[in-house]
Structures are given as C-alpha cells and as structure tokens.
Amino acid sequence: MNQKIRVNPLDVILWNGRHSGKDVVNIYTKFSPMMQIGADTKMLNFGLWKNSTTLPDAQKEMSEYVADFGEFSLASKVLDVGSGFCIPATIWKERFPHLEVFCLDVNFSELNNGSNHVISQINSSSNNIPFAEKSFDRIIALESAQHFVPLERFFSEARRVLSDDGKLILAIPVTRDSSALKLGILSITWLSKKYTKDHVFNVIKQAGFSLKKEESIGDLVYEPFANYYIQNRKSLKERLVSTYSGNVENLTFKSMKKMKELSEKKIIDYLLLSLQKD
C-alpha cells in the first residue's frame, strides 16, 4: 500500500503566507500530485474549457490557446517562466518546430521529471533570469505569475531580457477583492498570492510595459473546472484519498464549490494579457 502524502496545515499556511521560492517548491511538491491524480498528466493549469470536457483536454486547449494569443507562430525564441514539467512548452515546440523554447523554473525536481531533448531547461527563479538583455522575443508566464514575489522584480527581469519588439504573455488568476472575508475558504486553499487586477495593472505600468491585448476568461476556466470535479467527485475522490487524507479531499470539494460561486460573482477572474515594452 502506498504511503499517503501527509499535509501539515500550519506548514501550508506558513508557505502560502511567506511565498518565498522555497515555499513555492514545497507547495508544488505537496500538491502537484493532486492535479496529476485528476488529469493523468503533468500539466498544472486549470484548463480552458471552450471545446473540452475533460481536464487533460482542457489543459492542452489552454496551452494551445495562449500560444495563439501570444502569436508564437511569429516568434523565434520563447522563455516559459514557471514552466513546471515543461508539458506546454513541448506542445509549443511540436506546433512550431522553428521555435527555440526555454523552460525556467525554481523547482529542480519538476524540471528534471520533465526532461526532454527539444526543450532547454534552466533551474532559476523569476526574480533572477540568467540571460542577457533582449534574449527573447516572447516571454510567457502560464498560470505561474501569481506565485512570483515580488511581482515587480519579475516584470523588471522580463523587461530586461525581452527584445524591443517582443511580447510578454501572461495567463494569470486575479481577484477583484483579496480579503479573506470575500474569498472564504479560497483565502486558505488557493495556494498562491491573491493579486488583484488593479495591482497587476499598476505593476505593469510601473515596469514600463503597455497593454496591447486583454481577454477575461474566468467563466471558461473556473466554473467548468469546478463543475468537472463536482460531477466526477465519486471517481476523483477514490483516487484522491488513495494519496491524501479524506480531509484534504473534503477541503478540495468545498473549494471547488466556492471557486464556482466567486467566479459567477466576478470576484475572481482569469486574465490573458499581451504586453510590450514602452
């Protein structure tokens, strides 16, 4: 019988509150297996549910959609910051063989598990991108920038290594109100910084970027993702409790219902942003 992953609630609260690079590694080490249980893949995004009915398909759809949104077909050199296991990067390389794709992540274990022969992998943080100025014509943070602390430092580094006519692409969860009173259980179980849309846009402006394109897709992310879990809870619960405790699954279920409610009320959203240097 496999040993279950033990979760100390006090550790989780501490990791989420500080949100240092090491804390983010600890969060993903503990909880990325949860996403993999639900999807049988190593992709770690909520998915885009325009045309998909299963989580693996939705995650692939998100990966392909952001590549089109970011005009990767016109790019030559892409840096994926917070790449995880590099699965989206592999999809981009398969779609656009001419691309040079680089994955950067603070979590060495995830990079190592995602190793392949077509993607270059760099173990570093969003605050210290080890490339020369103007090295890339596309930089993307696919559902990872909500973990970057301070966010200002990432934008400064991204601006430095982005070419003058390049694009910075963000797929980022945001809130309208980050107070615990508004977010309820998600203030604890949503294991990322709760950046408000206003804060993100202020940082963008201060960093010397201009917004060229924006899409709000929260209703195509959170609500169908939550519905997928709720509708398939019986089978997903069986798999989840084989790795985690029943309490973790119960918190997951309650969080999914809250996520759906907050999305419907527009308290949380999911933004696609295309930025260029001023």
Q: What is the pLDDT of residues 110-120, one digit of tens each?
A: 777 655 666 88
**Domain of 66: which CATH number?**
3.40.50.150
The domain tally of the chain equals 1
Residue 36 lies in a domain: yes
Q: Give SS3 for 139.
A: strand
Query: Residue 65 has what DSSP assignment?
Result: H
Q: Give SS3 for 161.
A: helix
For residue 9, what pLDDT is reported? 80
For residue 260, what pLDDT is reported? 96
Q: Which helix (H) or strand (E) holds 140?
A: strand 136-142
Residue 188 lies in a domain: yes
Intra-chain end-to-end CA distance of the chain, in Å: 57
For residue 10, what pLDDT is reported? 84
Residue 94 lies in a domain: yes
Residue 63 lies in a domain: yes
The sign of the CA dihedral 262, 175, 56, 215 is positive
Is-contact 165 75, C-beta < 8 A? no
For residue 158, what pLDDT is reported? 97
For residue 2, what pLDDT is reported? 60
For residue 245, what pLDDT is reported? 86
Residue 242 lies in a domain: no
CA distance 122 to 100: 14
Residue 45 lies in a domain: yes
Distance, C-alpha 101 to centroid of its chain: 18
Residue 238 lies in a domain: no
Low-confidence stretches of the chain (pLDDT < 50) are 1
DSSP-derived pairing of the beta strands 136-142 and 77-81 = parallel
For residue 1, what pLDDT is reported? 44
Q: Give SS3 for 132.
A: coil
Is-contact 189 251, C-beta < 8 A? yes
Is-contact 177 196, C-beta < 8 A? yes
**What is the CB neighbour count within 10 angstroms for residue 8?**
10
Domain limits for position 121: 9-217+267-277
Work out the burial of residue 238: count CB atoms within 10 Å of its CB; fewer than 13 is exposed, 13-18 middle, 19 or more buried. Answer: exposed
Residue 156 lies in a domain: yes
CA distance 128 to 60: 28
Strand ranges of the sheet holding 120-123, from the earlier edge strand across to the other edge = 120-123, 100-105, 77-81, 136-142, 162-175, 268-277, 209-216
Is-contact 80 159, C-beta < 8 A? no
pTM for this predicted structure: 0.92
